[in-house]
């Protein structure tokens, strides 16, 4: 999928209405939707609990916190890309603390062209993360299947007094005979004996 076809979800965290409005003017609804705006870190945490966001723009400081820890936590948990705006006087300090965790930091005030460049960097970073997510998902699904099959084997061992190799063969045989994945057989065994 080309970047032109991608739509990104956005969370804007800022106590300044002027900042929110100027940022919103750079985010056309055709490319950025939904756009959620909140005025505090507490509001941002509630919004994140309701849904995942591709981009988070955080204008620090906020009434309840500076937002640095929140920015770092957002970058650690999944495919969210965060751009933190810090006062020019605090930029170096915030940059040193947040950048190592993957948070993009820009000093305020931000010229329009710098903000557009930052938005392009965020898009590139999000697409890179999306590529990793696609690679990781099949691995996670396979690991979950292995866990389910092992749980089913142990249930067969404990309930039917099978040996581990016999339980393994039993699950494999049922899957092959019925032309279903081992995961389906394992789920049925777990449901039957749990």
Q: What percent of the chain has pLDDT over 70?
A: 96
pLDDT digits (tens, 9 = 90+) for 5-31: 688 889 999 999 999 998 898 888 888
- In order of 1, 21, 31, 133, 140, the CA distances from 40 in angstroms are 34, 16, 25, 29, 34
Predicted local confidence at residue 136, as pLDDT: 72
Q: Which of 111-125, 159-173, 179-193 has the lowest mean pLDDT?
A: 111-125
CA distance 54 to 148: 31
Q: Which of 111-115, 131-135, 156-160 has the lowest mean pLDDT?
A: 131-135
Q: What percent of the chain has pLDDT over 90?
A: 47
- Tell me what the mean pLDDT of segment 91-101 comes to: 91
CA distance 101 to 57: 16
Q: Which of 54-58, 107-111, 185-189 has the lowest mean pLDDT?
A: 107-111
- Please list the alpha-helical segments (H only) found in the chain: 17-24, 41-50, 68-76, 91-98, 112-160, 164-178, 182-193
Identify the sign of the CA torsion 164, 168, 173, 175.
positive
- Tell me what the mean pLDDT of segment 68-78 comes to: 86
Please tell me whether the overall predicted TM-score, pTM, comes out greater than 0.85 for this model. Answer: no
What's the mean pLDDT when you consider all of the chain? 87
- Tell me what the mean pLDDT of segment 87-116 comes to: 88
pLDDT at 127 over 60: yes
pLDDT digits (tens, 9 = 90+) for 37-55: 999 999 999 999 999 899 9
pLDDT at 172 over 60: yes
Are residues 152 and 190 in contact, defined by beta-carbon separation less than 8 angstroms?
yes
CA distance 36 to 88: 26
Are residues 31 and 7 in contact, defined by beta-carbon separation less than 8 angstroms?
yes
pLDDT at 194 over 90: no
């Amino acid at each position: 999928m080309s970047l032109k076809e991608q739509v990104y979800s956005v969370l804007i965290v800022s106590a300044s209405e002027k900042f929110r409005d100027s940022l919103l003017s750079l985010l056309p609804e055709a490319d950025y939707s939904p756009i959620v705006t909140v005025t505090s870190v507490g509001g941002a945490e509630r919004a994140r609990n309701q849904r995942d966001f591709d981009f988070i723009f955080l204008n620090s400081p906020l009434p309840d916190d500076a937002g640095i820890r929140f920015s770092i936590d957002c970058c650690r948990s999944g495919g969210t890309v965060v751009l933190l705006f810090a006062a020019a006087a605090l930029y170096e300090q915030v940059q040193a603390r947040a950048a190592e965790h993957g948070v993009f930091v820009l000093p305020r005030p931000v010229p329009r062209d710098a903000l557009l460049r930052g938005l392009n960097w965020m898009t590139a970073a999000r697409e890179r993360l999306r590529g990793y997510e696609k690679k990781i998902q099949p691995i996670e699904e396979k690991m979950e299947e292995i866990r389910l099959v092992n749980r089913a084997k142990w249930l067969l061992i404990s309930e039917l007094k099978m040996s581990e190799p016999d339980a393994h063969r039993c699950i494999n045989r049922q899957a092959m005979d019925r032309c279903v994945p081992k995961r389906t057989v394992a789920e049925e065994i777990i449901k039957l004996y749990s």
